[in-house]
Amino acid sequence: MRVTTAGESHGKALVAIIEGMPAGLQLDIAAIDEQLKLRQSGYGRGARQKLECDKVEMLTGLRNGVTIGSPIALAVYNRDYENWKAYMAPEGCDTQARKVTRVRPGHADLTGLKKFGGEDARNILERASARETAVRVAAGTVLRQYLSALGVEVAGFVRSVGNIKDEGKYSFDDIKKKSETLGMLDKNVEERAVKYIEECKAAGDTCGGVLELRVKGLKSGFGSFMTYAEKLDARLAFALMSVQAIKGVEFGDGFALSAKKGSEAHDEIYYAGDKFTRNTNRAGGIEGGMSNGEELVVRAAMKPIPTLMRGLNTVDYVSKQPARADTERSDVCAITACEVVLESALATELARVVSERLGGDTMTEVLDRYGRLPQ
């Protein structure tokens, strides 16, 4: 299974192609639109979310809502393109207008210009933009439905915003009750987080946070220790780190394990009721680069959005003179949206791992093979 995307932030559309999807999967297209809507939600979002109303258009690979085994092509059209057509049209446009030369710290602007050439960072930022994640959510929701057919579910919530942290312990079912405001579970913590975002907004600043993701229902043995490229935690970390603004990933107790003794860090194994069990899940469901049958527990750290309304100190790429960084429409905090994106990124890579082990040209074959695997 393979997923590729294309498109620019203010271009005509964002598109994705999914190869290797078995025939016979009934897709819920409304569920894709619902995830796209969630991606645009959350406290602290900017003005562009009011301009765009993302919906998916399925172009190929389906008939009557059911996959037929051919590549699936889908698109999310940029409604704001009409306002940018004069500057972004691939057929011909004014490339001198809306030019960006005051390169922004924390973005791909400067390094991208040095790598790909030119003097206008517009050519860099349009593809590097987090707007690209809209189509990743659309494609990821398709892959998520593939996993769901096997009984594998993905969920997540916001652990912290800035220095406002939720230290609670929650079950998979608890996560489904998260708030629509910020995607948090503790109301009191969320109220403090909203206040923190307001303080950042008033100061022309931004903030990030930590997201926690869970996967329930995945059987053991996915991933492998045979080569480093097959390790499940390595592949999932790659998928999450590929999302804009993510600067760190940990599994289970992650970095906290480094401060513990071995006797405190590992999950002891027992045998009861004709199966192996563990009373703890400090490893986050992965041992030796393979799923061990427990819930996957993954956390990711999102840095503050680097586009600040007050602009950071930089240099004009053309004149080489000191300047304030250019600004594009931005969010104060996009932590809720990031959580939705990460669920899709995780589901996409996990579906690839699962399909590599199971194979199958039809969902009937896939379901049969998964059902015969040990827990």
What confidence tens digit (pLDDT) does each residue in 255-274 have? 999 999 999 999 999 999 88
> What's the number of domains the chain is made of?
1
Strands 322-324 and 275-278: unpaired
CA distances in angstroms from 331 to 11, 168, 204, 306, 350, listed in the order given:
20, 27, 10, 10, 29
In the block, tokens 């050519």 appear at: 123
The residue-averaged pLDDT of 128-145 equals 97
DSSP three-state, residue 126: helix
Question: Tokens at residue 252, please?
Answer: 């289970």
Q: What is the pLDDT of residue 311?
A: 81
pLDDT of residue 24: 98
Mean of pLDDT over the chain: 95
Q: What mean pLDDT is predicted for residues 104-121? A: 97
> What average pLDDT does the segment 200-215 reach?
95
Work out the widest C-alpha separation in the chain, in whole angstroms: 72
Determine how many CB atoms are found less than 10 A away from the CB of residue 269. Answer: 11
Q: Counting beta carbons within 10 angstroms of the beta carbon of residue 365, is it exposed (0 to 12), middle (13 to 18) or buried (19 or more)? A: middle
- Checking if the pLDDT of 178 tops 80, the result is yes
pLDDT at 310: 77
Asked if the model's pLDDT at residue 47 lies above 70, the reply is no
How far lies 330's CA from each of 45, 126, 341, in Å? 8, 13, 17
CATH for 300: 3.60.150.10
Domain ranges, residue 230: 2-371
Give tens-digit pLDDT for 310-332. 789 999 999 999 999 987 667 89
Position 134 confidence tier, pLDDT thresholds 50, 70, 90:
very high
Distance CA 26, CA 116 (A): 42
**pLDDT (0 to 100) of residue 238:** 98
Q: 0.85 cut: is pTM over it? A: yes
Q: Residue 188, Cβ neighbours under 10 Å: how many?
A: 9
Rounded average pLDDT over 207-233: 98
d(CA 3, CA 14): 13
- From the number of C-beta atoms within 10 Å of its C-beta (0-12, 13-18, 19+), residue 71 rates as middle
Share of the chain above pLDDT 70, in %: 98
| Rounded Cα–Cα distance for residues 261 and 180 (Å) | 39
